[in-house]
Structure 1
Amino acid sequence: MRVPEPFDAVVLAGGRARRLGGADKPAAPVGGRALVARVADAAASAARLVVVGPPRPEPARAVFVREDPPGAGPVPALRAGLAEVTAPWVALLAGDLPFLRPGDVALLLAAARDAGDGAVLVDDGGREQWLAGCWRTAALSSALEGYEGASLRGLLGPLGPAAVRVEAGERAPWYDCDTPAELEHADRLARPEPR
């Protein structure tokens, strides 16, 4: 049996949350836990957890860094987070994915290792979810070196990632919370059924 190489996780948890009126979206509770803490749980087997965003009480084990300037976008945030990565593989995750699970991250890692440089989650509409993927750290660093664009698709697409599809219902691992209605819906789905 092949022993998997270790991986780190970079969670992008900054941004301006314009559609939420500038609220601290990663700290928003879903099912009684902050969104960013739920994402950290999905990456619990990461050797190192790097959160790009303002320091907050949870996840307690995280290394917090900021892009310069704060709120500059996902590519500068990725640069700041990747500077803290020491493992040969890295999971790149959005801080607002309440239903991402450890099994989803494990599938992405396995697919990335098989593909060579990376893997990305694909939603049920066939769209790549660039903030739900796993990458060879060296390949990601090389891609960032000469990249001057602002698009994660422009940065990550040329790496030829494997597409990972999972069976999902309403609790899809790519479900993100950009609006108050999406947050409320996620919170309802995350709460246990009354007896």
Structure 2
Amino acid sequence: MEFDAVILAGGRSSRLGGSPKSRLVSGGRTLLDHSLLAAHGAGTIVVVGPDPGPLPAGVLTCREEPPFAGPAAAIAAGLAALADHHMAAGAELPVPALTLVLACDMPRVMAAVSAMREALAAGLEGDGVLAVSADGRRQPLAGFYGTAALQRSVAEAARRGALANASVFALLASLDVRGLRVPPGSTDDVDTWDDAAALGVSGRAPGQEPDEGPAAPRLNPTLEENGEEPG
């Protein structure tokens, strides 16, 4: 299955003291590393957010405009970066039909991504699939979406000036996206220090000295009621 990936790694992380979630650690890897591993097999990966530090060769970076404008704006920035990359590559690099969108705050998301890939490989129809937790919570920032359909939705939202601080559910409203139950805990995210403790996530990057005060986190939540995190 061919796909690109947009990893959202920005936001103010207000409930975590402003430390970036991407640098929190679970099982010896940063949360950004876990997201990159979950996106393994993508043709091209773009990380959207502030300077993420060293990245694997070939991984792109960009920033949403304006900064901290939320997940819909971050998805738009990521798609634009991917489109520019494919245009520069010309016919040598065809645009994959699917784009994986992941928020960078789910340490166990690889299991969810694997389940969605299996469903798509089995012939799941529509404009994509998003993860649904065991308790029925839909997670739009863990999903595979038809690239062309997502680009059209972003373009329409941009024409209406409706990207900044917008709901991702609103961005996806015109798409025929199916929900898929994924393994329990695979979309559990880190919004607070209590979440981090429950998931065994620490606030120290490998090789760093402990921070003064609490641990250390990141990402910023825009629309809690919709279960979304901003970009």
**CA separation in 1, counterparts of 2:173 and 2:125?**
13
Aligned equivalent of 1:107: 115
**CA separation in 2, counterparts of 1:187 and 1:59?**
24
2:112/2:183 contact within 8 Å kept: no
Q: Are residue 36 (structure 1) and residue 10 (structure 2) matched?
A: no
1:122/1:165 contact within 8 Å kept: yes
What is the 5 A alignment of 1:109-188? 109-112=117-120, 114-147=124-157, 148=162, 150-168=166-184, 172-187=185-200
Aligned equivalent of 2:220: none
Report how far residue 155 of structure 1 moved: 1.1
**CA separation in 2, counterparts of 1:107 and 1:115?**
15
- Alignment partner of 1:50: what SS? strand
Aligned equivalent of 2:213: none
- Alignment partner of 1:26: what SS? helix
Aligned equivalent of 2:5: 9
Q: Are residue 50 (structure 1) and residue 52 (structure 2) matched?
A: no
**CA separation in 2, counterparts of 1:118 and 1:164?**
10
Q: State the one-letter code of the partner of 2:36.
A: A
**CA separation in 2, counterparts of 1:69 and 1:38?**
26
2:127/2:145 contact within 8 Å kept: yes
- Render the CA deviation track for 1:50-94: whole Å, top value 9, x for unaligned: 100122234423211101121111111111001123422100000
Q: State the one-letter code of the partner of 2:190.
A: C
When structure 1 is superposed on structure 2, of 59-68 and 44-53 the one drifting more is 59-68
Report how far residue 107 of structure 1 moved: 3.0
Report how far residue 44 of structure 1 moved: 0.9
**CA separation in 2, counterparts of 1:131 and 1:58?**
23
**CA separation in 2, counterparts of 1:187 and 1:45?**
27
Structure 1 regions of 5+ residues with no counterpart? 190-195
Q: State the one-letter code of the partner of 2:132.
A: V
Q: State the one-letter code of the partner of 2:135.
A: G
Aligned equivalent of 1:91: 100
**CA separation in 2, counterparts of 1:132 and 1:184?**
22
1:111/1:118 contact within 8 Å kept: no
- Alignment partner of 1:83: what SS? helix
Aligned equivalent of 1:63: 60
- Render the CA deviation track for 1:114-143: whole Å, top value 9, x for unaligned: 222110001122121010000110000011
Please report the RMSD computed on the Cα atoms of aligned residues, expressed in angstroms.
1.9
- Alignment partner of 2:51: what SS? coil
Q: Percent sequence identity over matched residues? A: 38
TM-score between both structures, scaled by the size of structure 1: 0.85
TM-score between both structures, scaled by the size of structure 2: 0.73
